[in-house]
Amino acid sequence: MNNFEKYSESFVEYLQIEKNASPYTVKYYRNDLEIFFNFLNQEGIHDLNEIKQRDVRLFLTSLYDQQLGRRSVSRKISSLRSFYKFLEREELVKESPFVHIYLPRTSKSVPGFLYMEELEKLFDVNDMTKPAGQRDQAILEVLYGTGIRVSECQGLTLKDIDFSIGTIFVKGKGRKERYVPFGRFAEIALETYIQEGRVRLLENSGTTSDSVFLNARGRPLTTRGIRMILNKIVERAALTVHVHPHKLRHTFATHMLNEGADLRTVQELLGHESLSSTQIYTHVTKDHLRDVYMSSHPRANDQNLD
């Protein structure tokens, strides 16, 4: 194992143990490091302390030569900055060559969301006389009603749901925990599923499980399984839009803001570490704000001129 591989493995251990990074995050970091190390080998650089800013700029040029977009390049720079921060902390390098390298500006994509008419179609297609239909309805109500991530939904256990005060205990990214309230529709769907459909699904496994959402064999659903369930719901609803779990999260945030919730509250409910992550949803509230202004301000329209 060369020094690059040794440092890479140490960094991955740090991500997994200290940062509690997801397998997807670790995979992307590994990939970014591998691309960087391949570039260094091609340039004849075999010591991380030998790398200068000009080498980093040459690396960036090589990325753009591969027709990579700004977002991809930005992520790679961010990954390598984190890698070098780790190396500096461990005193394995003297200085990061990425200190004065600035991330290319990326345009923030506008998150897609569903209108109430589209949501109503989704809520109306599940067969509530069957265990699978009750489960699917509960998943739909929880994802839209709380805005939690699909991984957080998949990880829910029975003890995480407190029906007495209407909250669920969510274990989020990086071991961050939060309580999220749920409303009456989600409460009814969850109670129906847990008391009826889940019991029947669990009978198929012959074992016990504390996971809330189970598959047809009575085993805990995977995140992939939840995505497949949503796809089938969309098919039955005959919607032409693509619906994924994160779109329901976007919809939750958008509708909350449109109905007057403040950014800080939505940030806390979503489990965002930074307020800037929540601010991307404010774009869709502009029309709503204008409507409120036009209907509320005494001098916003000409009705009082008569």
Catalytic site positions = 149, 173, 246, 249, 272, 281
Tell me the C-alpha distance between 104 and 114, whole Å.
31
In this structure, the number of other CB atoms found within 10 A of the CB of residue 114 comes to 21
CB 117, CB 286: distance < 8 Å: no
Give which of 235, 284, 228 is closest to 255, Cα–Cα: 284
In terms of DSSP H, where are the helices of the chain?
3-17, 23-42, 53-65, 70-89, 116-123, 131-146, 150-154, 184-192, 198-203, 223-237, 245-258, 263-270, 275-279, 286-296
Nearest to 270 by CA among 243, 251, 244: 251
Torsion of CA 34, 39, 45, 49, to 10 degrees: -60
Which residues are CB-contacts of 272 (< 8 A; sequence separation ≥ 6)? 278
Q: Please state, in angstroms and rounded to a whole number, the distance separating the CA atoms of residues 258 and 275.
A: 17
Q: Match 């069957």 to its residue by tokens.
A: 130
d(CA 7, CA 62): 23
